[in-house]
Every structure is written in C-alpha cells, then in structure tokens.
Structure 1
Amino acid sequence: MSPIFDWFFQQYENVSSHIVILEIIAVLLALASAWFSKMDNILIYPTGILSTAIFVYILAYYGLLGDLVINAYYFSMSIYGWYVWTRRVDAKHYTPITTTTSKEKQICFFIFVGTLIFIYAVYEIFDRWNSWTAYVDTLTTAIFFVAMWLLARKKLENWTFLLVGNIISLPLYFYKGLIFTSFQFLLFIIISIYGYRAWKQNVNVPETSLLN
C-alpha cells in the first residue's frame, strides 16, 4: 500500500471490521440526510434517525461521550423535527421555511449556554478532561445543539450554525481517528453553503409537498 493510504487509514489498524463497516454506513446515511435537508425533503428524518442510531453505538465503542450525547440529541430532535415538518398550517400547506424571531434567538442562546454547562458536567463526572479535544467537543456540541433545534423548526439560520460546527469538526474527527467521518464533514461544509442558498430562496414560501 502507498504511504499516503497507510497514513490516512492506520487509525483503523486495531479496530474491528464491523465498526468500520458501520461507520461507512452511518456516514452514507448522514450524507443522504444532509442532502435531503438541503432539498427541504422529509426523507431527511428517516435517514438521519438511522445514521444517528448507528453513530451512538460507534461513539459508545470509542468512548467519545460528548459526540455520543450529540448524536443522542440528534435522534430526539429528528423525532421532533419529523413532527414539525409534517404539521399542516392549513388544509393544503405544511410548515414553511422561516427566519428566527427575537424569542427564538433567546432560546438559541439558552440552548447554547445550557449545553456548555451540561457537557462540562458530563466530562467532569466521567473525568474525561484528558485531552484538548474535550474542550472542542464541548463547543461543537453546543453549536450543533442549536443547529439541530433550528433545523427541526425549519429556520434558515440552522445552516449558519451547521457550517461553523462542520468546519471545526472536520480536523477534530480526523485527529480522533474517525477518518471516514472527517471526510463526511468536508461534504457537510459544501452542503451547508448550498443548503443556505437554497433555503434562502424559499423563506416563507408555502409548502405543498414534503418530497421536493
């Protein structure tokens, strides 16, 4: 094998093959979910739920508590988002894409601060402050918690938070040894940019279909 190939994938040398296979499946499902999100398509949720369920298992295997909590939260937000997206505002229309109100901005602030406190407590209880990645985990968890709440509410600003979180996560996951997942975040960055542009064109446009 080439030195480049060895350098990229040496992290998997002592990892069970079923974990590697599950990671690839979870990444593909996550990419599909992100693409469906960009397309404002309800299939974001079944694909996202399957992906997060697999990632919870993988992250428990690696002992990455902060990341595990993120994906467990994603799972619950996917259930909530599925409900919001399919809710009708009248006889013919579903919940549309909108921008955040002043009250929702305040909620975002409290979610962000509350998450920082919660993840700090989790790492403190389990004595996981053994690497600089724990501090970055705490920050990205707070960013993604806000992003997922905004996504579930069909708010345009979710893409801004996702973009920031994805940019931070790309090198972080590579450092942790989850190579396929780090590549996933590179594609997430691209999807975040195009997703924002696509959603911005459809703000407050009545939704007549969930399979765009």
Structure 2
Amino acid sequence: MQPIFDFFFDQYYGYPTLFIILEVIAVIFGFLSVLYSKQNNILVYPTGIISTTIFVYLLWQWELLGDMMINAYYFSMSIYGWYIWTRKVDAEHFTPITNTTKKENWQSLFIFIATLLFVFAVYEYFDKWTNWTAYVDTFTTAIFFVGMWQMAKRKIENWIFWIIGDIISVPLYFYKGLTLTALQYFVFTIIAIYGYKAWQKNLRNDLRPS
C-alpha cells in the first residue's frame, strides 16, 4: 500500500503546507462547480470563481503560465456566464440551453486559434519552452477557452471541449506532479460525459411542444 501511496503523492514531499491546503480547497470547489454545471445550476459560477482564484495564485507560483491563464480566463468568463445565465430572454424565461449556430462555430474556431497564438507568444516571451508539456499546455488552453465561452452562452457543445481537454489533462497534471489536480480532471471527465447527456435531455425537453 505504501509504494502506491508514494507513487501518487511523493510529489508533495517538500511542498509548503499552505500550497497543499490551497490546492485541496481549489479542487473541492472545482468539483462543486462542475457538478453544478452538470445540473444546469447557477451555483456553477460562484464555486468556480473561488476555485479559479486559488488556482491562479498556485499556478503562478509553479510557473505554469498556460494553466494560470486558463484559470484567469475562467474567472472572467464566470462573471460573464453568471450574467448570461441570470438574464431573462422574456418576462418568464432565462437564457436556455441551445446548440451552437454556424456563426458561433466560426467564433469558437477564432477563439481556439487566437488562444493558441496568444499562449505561444507568452511562452516565447518568457522563454518557457523547456519541456514538451508546454506544447500540450498551449493546446489544452485553447480547448478550454472555447469550452468556457460556450458554457457561458449555455451551448450544449461546450461539454465536448471539456471532455477532450479533461482527458488530455489527467496524464499532463500527473506528470507535472499535481496528483490531486490530475485526479480532479479524471473525475471531471466522468462528470462531463454525464453533463453532456443531462444537457441533451434538457434540450430535448425544451424543444417538445407545450
């Protein structure tokens, strides 16, 4: 049992206690945020804001610039999404779950490419191309940027981007030595699959004639 424990958590030996506590808190609120998202619950945003705020600080300390920018972007998009989800489209209804339009698909592509270029430029400027993880980090950052934007607009396709990004992030974070965060993304993958199914059911119900 001890060798297994050491394999997963040996990376934390020597870490400041404060960092470990903050990561645990961020992971807990991250779980809550994804669960609330699956349930189409507005609490996805306040819980997400707490998690991302902590992760921005931790990732800056760990010099993981792409990941840090993801969480800074999540923070800003959480505020935007909170507004969209509480905005009424008429006297009785809030912004509904819908499919992306052709225009929104082009906007998603633009966000993806723009994010790739921006993160690449940041890594280049700070001369952080020291490991292959930087290239993967750039790619996952672009994926998550699109997913967060689509989720804020309540587009069902956001879950596809979350699933892809989460699957890539599991081994990436474990390799970086962030075992708790890697486990978080593993659970995120499972929740995202169920979230996609739940939103599909919700969308079908909304499309049924009254």
Structure 2: runs of 5 or more not aligned:
none
Aligned pair 1:149/2:145, yes or no? Answer: no
Cα RMSD, aligned residues only: 1.0
Counterpart in the other structure of 1:58 = 58
In 2, Cα distance between equivalents of 1:6 and 1:144? 31
Pairing of 1:114-133 with structure 2 (within 5 A): 114-133=114-133
Counterpart in the other structure of 2:93 = 93
Q: Deviations over 1:5-59 (max 9, x none)?
A: 1111111111101100100110010000000000000000000000000000110
Counterpart in the other structure of 1:169 = 169
In 2, Cα distance between equivalents of 1:195 and 1:2? 35
Pairing of 1:128-139 with structure 2 (within 5 A): 128-139=128-139
Return the offset for 1:204.
6.8
In 2, Cα distance between equivalents of 1:148 and 1:96? 16
Q: Deviations over 1:88-119 (max 9, x none)?
A: 01111100000000000000000000000000
Paired-residue identity, %:
61
Contact 1:97 1:205 in 2 (8 A): no
After TM superposition, the score normalised by the length of structure 2 is: 0.96
Which stretches of structure 1, 4 residues or longer, exceed 2 Å deviation after superposition?
A: none
Pairing of 1:97-116 with structure 2 (within 5 A): 97-116=97-116
Contact 1:59 1:65 in 2 (8 A): yes
User: What is the number of equivalent residue pairs in this alignment?
Assistant: 206
Secondary structure of 1:201's counterpart equals helix
Structure 1: runs of 5 or more not aligned:
207-212
Aligned pair 1:160/2:187, yes or no? Answer: no
Counterpart in the other structure of 1:194 = 194
Counterpart in the other structure of 1:210 = none
